[in-house]
Structure 1
Amino acid sequence: MSTQFKVMNPATGELVKKVNYNTKEEIKQALENGHCAFKKWSKLNAHTRSKLLKGWSQIIQENKEEIAEVMTIENGKPLKESLGEVTYATSYIDWYAEEAIRIYGRTIPASTETKRIVVTKQPIGLVAAITPWNFPAAMMTRKAAPALAAGCAFIVKPAEETPLTTMKLIELAHEVGIPKDAIQCVNGKGPEVGALFTDSEYVRKITFTGSTPVGKSLIRNSADTVKHVTMELGGHAPLIVAEDADLDFAVTQTILSKFRNAGQTCVCANRVIVHESIVGVFSEKLTEAVNRLKVGNGMDEETDIGPIIHEKGFLKIVSQVKDAIEKGAEVLLGNKYNADKEQGYFFVHPTVLKNVDTTMNIMQEETFGPIVPITTFKELDEAVDIANSTPYGLAAYFFTNDYKVGTYLHDHLDFGIIGWNDGAPSGAHVPFGGMKESGLGREGGSEGIEPYLETKYLSIGHYDQ
């Protein structure tokens, strides 16, 4: 295996930087170092950990423009989105800096006068994380912040496409005084590093954001050492537009959900399910709005949609659109591409498809691109059936001003995150995670620190004198 890998700019195909792979021995040593660091970091009082986390957040904000530029160059997303992601990333650090000093135990009334019962929480141990390329800052801090706040040591393998953002953030963590072995970064091939993480006796928890097949593999491989796991896996989000919806608002929110990072997010609206009585008007309004989006290099301030991250993702998008058209979908907009394999860039113009049905691959497979497939429903339970018809259950959206319709949809949609008249429901203060094959556990909110804690129960016996 080569000792280095290339980080490429997906908008231009140009080399950004060569990064060294860590050797197997280096990664094993890093895991041992993290285990040793845990013994010291976990004993540090919560207020000191909180203060260090706040310092980390502050220094990231002080370097916000530099980090955002690095992110756009290696990821391709528009600079304005990268700037937003840096703020989103620090919001997790800010939140868990506060949660660090609110890890409470409790006493439980005993069933006898001769006992006292105490429940305490303690950090789980060394945490190993594997993070994706689409949100290289936020997906790391969403894991690192609660881990460090709880008293765990943390080691992360970023995606090979986008390691530079993560490396910079960890460099800044060290700069403010978080011990180098308490938060570390290693670079390597996913399957190889994943195996080292799951096999290690030092790692007590695996946290992963990425595809469902890889998540399943990590879960299986963690079983032999009974590691704790948190999995934020694939999604295929439905977006339901009810007959009474405010169509202009629904269009605006659909675009907000669908086209962020060129549609390359796990919570993007991937299946737009519209009541048959309004599909014509909705489609026309949506197509008109989508047509105004600008495709280009993310460093151009007018760009709304950047490149697809690599050729593999590009080919999947092209294949899904082609399959849909061959099966009867109508192209209202798009199906245009600006790609050059030799140069190494792949752009997909925003595409709107009408007359889509569930026989088409785009309705069954997760779409990571700026494609909007529109299908219709007549009765509400039909919309629910379409929405729930895949193995995924991460995010769902619906638009209605009828509380009965909204309550019905909330109760019957099998998804961990639901936006009612809201295309952007994520936040550091709320629990993020999926149902079915979209994951295990929650990240964010007060729930997000619990997976990094063990519960210890103490029963104290005593005798009256």
Structure 2
Amino acid sequence: MNISDAIAALDPKHGIHVDGRGTGADRTFTVQDPATTLDLAEVADAGPAEATAAVDAAARAFPGWAAQTPRARAELLRRAFDAMIAETDLLAGLIVAENGKSQADARAEVAYAAEFFRWYGEEAVRSEGDYAVAPASGTRTIVTHRPVGVAALVTPWNFPAAMATRKIAPALAAGCTVVLKPAAETPLTAIAIARILHDVGVPDGVVNVVPTTDAAGVVTTWLEDQRVRKISFTGSTEVGRRLLRQAADRVLNSSMELGGNAAFVVTADADVEAAVAGAMVAKFRGGGQACTAANRLYVHADVADRFVGLLGAEVEALRVGPGADADAQVGPLISARAVDGIRALVEEAVAAGATVAHRGAQPEQGWFYPPTVLTGVAPDSPILRQEIFGPVAPVVVWDDEESMLAQVNDTEFGLASYVYAGRLQDALRIAERIDAGMIGINRGIVSDPAAPFGGFKQSGLGREGARDGIREFQETQYFSVEWT
């Protein structure tokens, strides 16, 4: 089945998935292929009424789903994992089409996304509690956990499968029901995942998907609904701040995975070839459109020339093109606006003294920006202070560790960073002084469903993945038992 037929089979004009059924709306919005700028699909455009209907369904389904045995929930999550793996071609094709990723990156995302269903299927049956004798005796304390209730999930466009499953899987494992708003740029993958969950037997109303261009209207409807007891958001820090202000009115349980400004540190004794290989992954995977992407490269003066030379050769050799091309390694940016933003950042840096040392290819059609390496970047350059979210690698040369660490930590963000060093002890010593929730040590990837994903400072609140992820969808309850 080609991608056009696959999209048609999803029936996106009825892509609002509520109470186990696809429904339409009074209007639709257009999803475009960023590699060609051509229209892919017309998708039902939900509003507050559809948002409320989704909560109605989730609230009706919640008591029954919460009462399911952990084993029953676990079996359904495992079946969801198997189904996603079986549908890899479909899901990867949708990601390539609406997001623009290369086929290799899209298939890797499907595998990563599916793993959350398997991981939380295993965690669903491992609910922890506690039993203790009160210090003053006379009572016993029993501690348990219960699902928080209906959870509102808001996901971004850059990982349309993984960001959905990273929230849906722990919520379902905990016994919550969910309403999901995917990004308007990439709703098709979320619609497909909803269909998969329905087909494996997840009860109607447990998972509801509401695509929309009225993000504020839909999410505000959820935040103001007394039946919604949880908001889990992944996106920009700016939007996260606004949602937190709204959530404060109801003291709503909130998880926020927000922006990043990851540093990539290379020491004088690092394995330079390995560091370059890691930088290629940390910076250019997904075209650099990831919150964990290496945003600033701090390379020791002793190895800077060699590092930049090797990195530049790799960047110039990157095959840039549409994900439909099996040989493409780097796809387009998500929109024309994103391209304009990256171009302005680079021009500003060059005007301030930076040099475009190496540059890759740029196709004539589509929303592409050429992979770029900047050198001569001043430590106080604006390009180092904001999330680039594109295939641009600014290199800063350092020779004093204290000064370098001060620069690395001089940011409001603290999501991820990377350290390459010859001695593991040195890498860990530097990593322990970096204000970030996740540090890659001699590797260019930090994400793992079995590890707690999240950051410090204004990069968010809470954690996703690991045991921490299921706790985000649970309330702790204890019983004080008379014991005389």
TM-score category, normalised to shorter length: over 0.9
Within a 5 Å distance, the mapping from 1:180-195 to structure 2 comes to: 180-188=204-212, 189-195=214-220
Contact 1:56-1:172 at 8 Å conserved across structures: yes
The worse-fitting range, judged by mean Cα deviation, of 398-407 and 121-130 is 398-407
The Cα of 1:56 is off from its aligned counterpart by 0.9
2:384 is matched with which residue? 363
Q: Among residues 291, 295, 316, which one is paired with 2:341 in the alignment?
A: 316
2:95 is matched with which residue? 71
1:330 is matched with which residue? 355
Deviations 1:136-194 (A, max 9, x none): 00000000000000000011000000000010001110111101200110022221122
| 2:455 is equivalent to residue 430 of structure 1 | no
Counterpart AA for 2:130: R
Deviations 1:257-297 (A, max 9, x none): 11111110110111000111221111111101111101101
1:390 is matched with which residue? 411
TM-score when normalising by structure 2? 0.93
CA distance in 1, matches of 2:271, 2:152: 45
CA distance in 2, matches of 1:452, 1:102: 15
Within a 5 Å distance, the mapping from 1:56-455 to structure 2 comes to: 56-188=80-212, 189-334=214-359, 337-338=362-363, 345-455=366-476
Counterpart AA for 1:352: V
2:482 is matched with which residue? 461
TM-score when normalising by structure 1? 0.96
CA distance in 1, matches of 2:427, 2:163: 30
The worse-fitting range, judged by mean Cα deviation, of 8-17 and 405-414 is 405-414
**Could you say what secondary structure the match of 2:178 adopts?**
strand
Counterpart AA for 2:206: A
**Could you say what secondary structure the match of 1:102 adopts?**
coil
**Could you say what secondary structure the match of 1:348 adopts?**
coil
CA distance in 2, matches of 1:95, 1:135: 18
CA distance in 1, matches of 2:49, 2:127: 36
Q: Among residues 56, 59, 71, which one is paired with 1:35 in the alignment?
A: 59
**Could you say what secondary structure the match of 2:432 adopts?**
helix
Stretches (4+) displaced over 3 A: 335-340
The Cα of 1:71 is off from its aligned counterpart by 1.0
Deviations 1:63-122 (A, max 9, x none): 110111011000000011111111100111100001000012110112344322111111
Contact 1:157-1:187 at 8 Å conserved across structures: yes
The Cα of 1:339 is off from its aligned counterpart by 5.8
Q: CA RMSD in A?
A: 1.4
Contact 1:337-1:346 at 8 Å conserved across structures: no
CA distance in 2, matches of 1:207, 1:347: 31
Contact 1:75-1:133 at 8 Å conserved across structures: yes
Counterpart AA for 2:391: P
The worse-fitting range, judged by mean Cα deviation, of 406-415 and 168-177 is 406-415
Counterpart AA for 2:456: M
CA distance in 1, matches of 2:428, 2:293: 22
Consecutive unaligned residues in structure 1, runs of 5 or more? none
Counterpart AA for 2:441: W
Counterpart AA for 1:17: A
The Cα of 1:23 is off from its aligned counterpart by 3.0
CA distance in 1, matches of 2:305, 2:404: 17
CA distance in 2, matches of 1:248, 1:238: 18
**Alpha carbons of structure 1 residues 151 and 103: separation in structure 2 relative to 1, 3 Å:** same
Consecutive unaligned residues in structure 2, runs of 5 or more? 1-24
**Could you say what secondary structure the match of 2:260 adopts?**
coil
Contact 2:320-2:362 at 8 Å conserved across structures: no
Counterpart AA for 2:88: K
The worse-fitting range, judged by mean Cα deviation, of 141-150 and 61-70 is 61-70
